Structure 1
Amino acid sequence: MLASGAGLAVAALYYSQPMLGVLGTDMGASMPSVGLLPTLTQLGYALGIFFLAPLGDRHDRRRIILAKAAVLCAALLLAALAPSLAALLAASLAIGLAATMAQDIVPAAATLAPETHRGKVVGTVMTGLLLGILLSRVVSGFVAEQWGWRTMFAAAAASIAFVGLAAWRQLPRFAATTHLPYFALLRSLGALWKQHAALRRATWAQGLLSIGFSAFWSTLAVMLHSEPFHLGAAAAGAFGLAGAAGALAAPVAGRIADRHGPRLVTRLGAGLVVVSFAAMGLAAFIPPGAQLWLLVASAIGFDLGFQAALIAHQTLIYGIDAGARSRLNAVLFTGMFLGMAVGSALAAVLFAQFGWMAVTALATATALAAFILRMVR
C-alpha cells in the first residue's frame, strides 16, 4: 500500500508532460506558456519538500498524509475542470505542493519496518516511487490520446482518493520525534547544509543531473508531435517504459553501493547520463526511424544513470546523521526538484528558440558538470 501510494502521489507531477502537445493545441497556448505547467509542478514539489516535509518529525505522519491526499485530490480535480490556462497553472503549483505526501510515506515505511528488514522495505517503497515517476508518462500519454487530457487528471484524482482511504484505514498513528517549533525545524535545514560538505555535494550533483532529466521529459512530447515524427501523446508516454528500466535497476545500484561505496556509484551514474545525452547529438545525422531508436536507447541509459546516482546519494546522506534523515532527505530532494523546475523552464525556451538540439546540449552540459563535481570531490 505504501509503495503504491508513493508511486501514485509522485506520478501526479508527471502526468502533464506527455500531454503538453495535445493540451497546448486544445487551449491554443504557446509552447513557452504550456511549458510552465511542468515547471510550476516541479517548483511546487521543491517548495513543499522544503517547507512541509520537516513537519513529519514534529507531527503525526498519518494526519499529514491524509491532509495532503485531500489537497492533492482537490488540485487534480481543479486541473481536470480548469476553464483556462491560468487556472491550470494554479492547479499545477498546488499539485506539486501536495504530491510531497510521497516524501512522508517513505519515512513512514522506514518507521514501521522491523530494523532487520528496514532496507528492503524502504527499497520496495522507493521502487514504487520511481516506477510512479516513469510509468505515469505511459498512462497519461495513452489516456490523453484516447479520452483527452481532462480525463487523465480526473482519473488521477480518483487514484489519490483511493490512496487516502487506504491510508485512513491501515496506517497507525506516528509519534513525533522532535518538539522543535516549526521555524526551528526550517533553520535546522540550513544548519545541516552548512555543517556537512557531503550533503552539499550530493545536492548539487543530483540537482545538475535533474536539469537534463527534466529538460528531456518536459519537451519530448512536443518534439515528437512536430516534424519529422508527427507522433501523438501515446508515443511520448511509451518512452516511460524505456525509462522504467532505471527504476527496476535501483536495487542493483544499492547493492553495488553497499559493496564498493556510494561514491563510485555516483560517478558511474553521472558518467552514464553524460554519455546517453551526448549520444542524442547524433540524431541530426541519421534518418527519423533511427532517431527514434537512438532516443529509446538514450532514455534507458540516462534514466538508469540518474536513478543509480539518486540511490547512491541517498545512501551517502543517510549515513551523515541517523537522527536527521527526514531533514537530510528534504534538503537533497529540494535541490533535485529545483533542478527539475529549472530544466523544464530552460528547455521550453531553448526548444522554442533553437530546437531540440539545444535541449540536448543543455542536458549534456549539466550532466557533465555533475560528473566533474563527483570526480573531483
Structure 2
Amino acid sequence: MSLSADQKVEKSVSSWITLLLAISCGVIAANLYYAQPLVGPISSAIGLSAETAGLVVTLTQIGYGIGLLFIVPLGDILENRKLVVASLLFTAVALTIAPVVKNAALFLIASLFIGVGSVAAQVLVPYAAHLSPDASRGRAVGNVMSGLLLGIMLARPVSSLVADLLGWHAVFFLSAATIFVLALLLAKALPARKPLLNVQYPTLMSSMWHLLRTTPILRRRAIYHACVFGTFSLFWTTVPLLLSSPAFHFSQKEIALFALVGVSGAVAAPVAGRLADKGWIRPATGLALAIVIISILLPLMIQGGSTAAVATLAVAAILLDMGVSANLVLGQRVIFSLGAEFRSRLNGLYMAIFFLGGAIGSALGGWAYALGGWNAALWIGIAFPIIAMIYYTTEKN
C-alpha cells in the first residue's frame, strides 16, 4: 500500500527535528518583540515623535497579521520547507535594512516587512503537526510551541541587554545574521513536504471565510485564546510602566530580569500537549482559563511597592504565562486534528483572530493605565478571561 505525502513525512520525524523546530519558532517569533523595549532610542534616532513612537511596534504587528492571513495559508499548497526558507531570507533582508535607514518612513516599512516574514514560525507549527502521528501530535505541537513562547518571552529582556551593551542597531544586525543562518540550516535539515491540495491562490484565499463560517470549534478556540492573549498583552504592556514608576523604581535592567521570571510559564505548553493527547482537552482548557483569572486576581489583592508586592507580581507573571501557553497548545491540538489538508489555513485564522485580541488588550491596557492606573488596567485584564470562562461553560462535552 502506498503512503501519502504526510504519512511519509511522519515516518521521518525525529526528536532532534522537533527540537530544531522549537528553537526555530522561538528565534523567528522573537523578531516581533525585540523593538518593544527599544521604542525610545529608535524613535530618537529616526525622528519619530512621542505620539507616533508606538508605530515602531504596531507596524511589525500589522505585518504579522497580514502574513497570517495571506502567507501562512500557502502552507496548504506550497512545499513547506521552501516557503519557510524564502520567508526567512526575506526577513533577514528586512532586519538588515531597518537599522541602516535614517528615514522614519523607510524604517516603518522595514518593520512591516519584518512582521510579514516572521510568519514563517506559523508555517512551521502545522508542519510539526504533519510530522507527528495522531497519538503524539499534541506533545509535538506542545514542544514546538514551548520554543515559540520562550522566544516571545525572552525577546524583550534579550533586546534590552544587547542594546545596553552594543546599542539598538546591534539587536537587528544580530537577528538578521541568526535568521540567515537558520534559513540555511532548515533548508538542509528539514524533510520536504509537498501538500496534495492543488488549487490556485485566489481559490485558497476564498476558502478562508468558508472555513471560518463552517468550523465552529475553530471560532470557539480562537475566542478563548483571543481573550487570554488580550490579558497577556495587557499585563506585559503595563507591568513595565508599573515597575518603573515611583512605587518600585525599577531600572531597565531590573525590568528585563523581571520579564525573565515569566519564561518559566512556558513549561505548561508541552504538559498541555500531553494532556490533549490523553483526551483531557476540555478539563485542561477550564484549568488554563482559571489559572489566567487567578494570575490577575493576585496583584489586585496585594498592592503597593513592598517586597511582597514584587513577589506577587512575579507569581502572577508565571501563572499568566502558564495559562496562556497551555490554552494556546490545547487550541492548536484541536484545530490540527480537523484535517491535514487545511491545517495551515486553520492556523492562520486561529492566530489572526487571537492576535487581534492581543492588540486590543495592549491598546486598552495602555489607555487604562494612563487614565486610571494599574488597578484600572487589571480590572479590564481580568474581564477578558472571565468572558472566556463564561463562554467555556456553554461548550458541550
The answer to whether the aligner puts 1:271 opposite 2:290 as a matched pair is yes
Unpaired segments of 5 or more residues in structure 1?
none
The Cα shift of 1:374 comes to: 1.3
Q: State the alpha-carbon separation in 1 of the partners of residues 278 and 136 from structure 2.
A: 18
Match of 2:169 among 147, 150, 166: 150
Contact persistence 2:138–2:329 (CA under 8 A): no
Per-residue CA distance 1:140-188 (angstroms, 9 max, x = gap): 2221222222221221111111111212332343323211111211222
Unpaired segments of 5 or more residues in structure 2?
1-19
Assess, with a 3 A threshold, how the Cα gap between structure 1 residues 205 and 124 changes in structure 2: closer, same or farther: closer
SS at match of 1:34: coil
Contact persistence 1:143–1:151 (CA under 8 A): yes
Q: State the alpha-carbon separation in 2 of the partners of residues 85 and 372 from structure 1.
A: 44
Give 2:91's aligned residue.
72
Q: State the alpha-carbon separation in 2 of the partners of residues 234 and 64 from structure 1.
A: 38
Q: State the alpha-carbon separation in 2 of the partners of residues 120 and 100 from structure 1.
A: 22
The Cα shift of 1:94 comes to: 1.7
SS at match of 1:249: helix
The answer to whether the aligner puts 1:102 opposite 2:121 as a matched pair is yes
Per-residue CA distance 1:107-126 (angstroms, 9 max, x = gap): 33344456776554443322
The Cα shift of 1:237 comes to: 2.5
Give 1:184's aligned residue.
203
The Cα shift of 1:256 comes to: 2.6
Q: State the alpha-carbon separation in 2 of the partners of residues 139 and 194 from structure 1.
A: 40
Contact persistence 1:45–1:96 (CA under 8 A): yes
Q: Which amino acid aligns with 1:161?
A: F
Q: State the alpha-carbon separation in 1 of the partners of residues 39 and 378 from structure 2.
A: 19
Give 1:60's aligned residue.
79
Contact persistence 1:243–1:300 (CA under 8 A): yes
Contact persistence 2:76–2:341 (CA under 8 A): no
The answer to whether the aligner puts 1:348 opposite 2:366 as a matched pair is yes
SS at match of 1:59: coil
Match of 1:233 among 236, 242, 252: 252
The Cα shift of 1:244 comes to: 1.8
Give 1:311's aligned residue.
329
Q: Looking at both structures, which has the greater relative contact order when contacts are Cα pairs under 8 Å and sequence separation is at least 6? A: 1
Q: Which amino acid aligns with 2:322?
A: L
* Identical-pair percentage: 37
Q: State the alpha-carbon separation in 2 of the partners of residues 187 and 213 from structure 1.
A: 32
The answer to whether the aligner puts 1:326 opposite 2:335 as a matched pair is no
TM-score w.r.t. length of structure 2: 0.86
The answer to whether the aligner puts 1:281 opposite 2:306 as a matched pair is no
The answer to whether the aligner puts 1:166 opposite 2:185 as a matched pair is yes
Give 1:220's aligned residue.
239
Which range moved further: 166-175 or 365-374?
166-175
Contact persistence 1:144–1:234 (CA under 8 A): no
Which range moved further: 90-99 or 171-180?
171-180
Contact persistence 1:32–1:352 (CA under 8 A): no
Q: How many residues align?
A: 376
Contact persistence 1:56–1:104 (CA under 8 A): yes
The Cα shift of 1:12 comes to: 0.7
Q: State the alpha-carbon separation in 2 of the partners of residues 338 and 186 from structure 1.
A: 19
The Cα shift of 1:207 comes to: 0.9
Contact persistence 1:31–1:348 (CA under 8 A): no
Match of 2:52 among 22, 29, 33: 33
The answer to whether the aligner puts 1:6 opposite 2:25 as a matched pair is yes
The Cα shift of 1:32 comes to: 5.2
Contact persistence 2:262–2:318 (CA under 8 A): yes
The Cα shift of 1:311 comes to: 1.3
Give 2:355's aligned residue.
337
Q: State the alpha-carbon separation in 1 of the partners of residues 345 and 146 from structure 2.
A: 21
The Cα shift of 1:85 comes to: 4.7
Contact persistence 1:215–1:347 (CA under 8 A): yes
Q: State the alpha-carbon separation in 1 of the partners of residues 382 and 300 from structure 2.
A: 9
Q: State the alpha-carbon separation in 2 of the partners of residues 231 and 148 from structure 1.
A: 21
The Cα shift of 1:138 comes to: 2.6
SS at match of 1:12: helix
**Which has the greater radius of gyration?**
2
Q: Relative to total residues, which structure has the larger helix share, 1 or 2?
A: 1
The Cα shift of 1:253 comes to: 1.7
Contact persistence 1:10–1:133 (CA under 8 A): yes
Q: State the alpha-carbon separation in 2 of the partners of residues 131 and 166 from structure 1.
A: 20
The answer to whether the aligner puts 1:292 opposite 2:341 as a matched pair is no
Q: Which amino acid aligns with 2:151?
A: G
Assess, with a 3 A threshold, how the Cα gap between structure 1 residues 201 and 119 changes in structure 2: closer, same or farther: closer
Contact persistence 1:15–1:137 (CA under 8 A): yes
Contact persistence 1:18–1:220 (CA under 8 A): no
Give 1:247's aligned residue.
266
Give 2:394's aligned residue.
376
Give 2:218's aligned residue.
199
Give 1:51's aligned residue.
70
Q: State the alpha-carbon separation in 1 of the partners of residues 38 and 245 from structure 2.
A: 14
Q: CA RMSD in A?
A: 2.5
Assess, with a 3 A threshold, how the Cα gap between structure 1 residues 144 and 225 changes in structure 2: closer, same or farther: farther
The Cα shift of 1:255 comes to: 2.3
The Cα shift of 1:206 comes to: 0.7
Q: State the alpha-carbon separation in 2 of the partners of residues 86 and 353 from structure 1.
A: 30
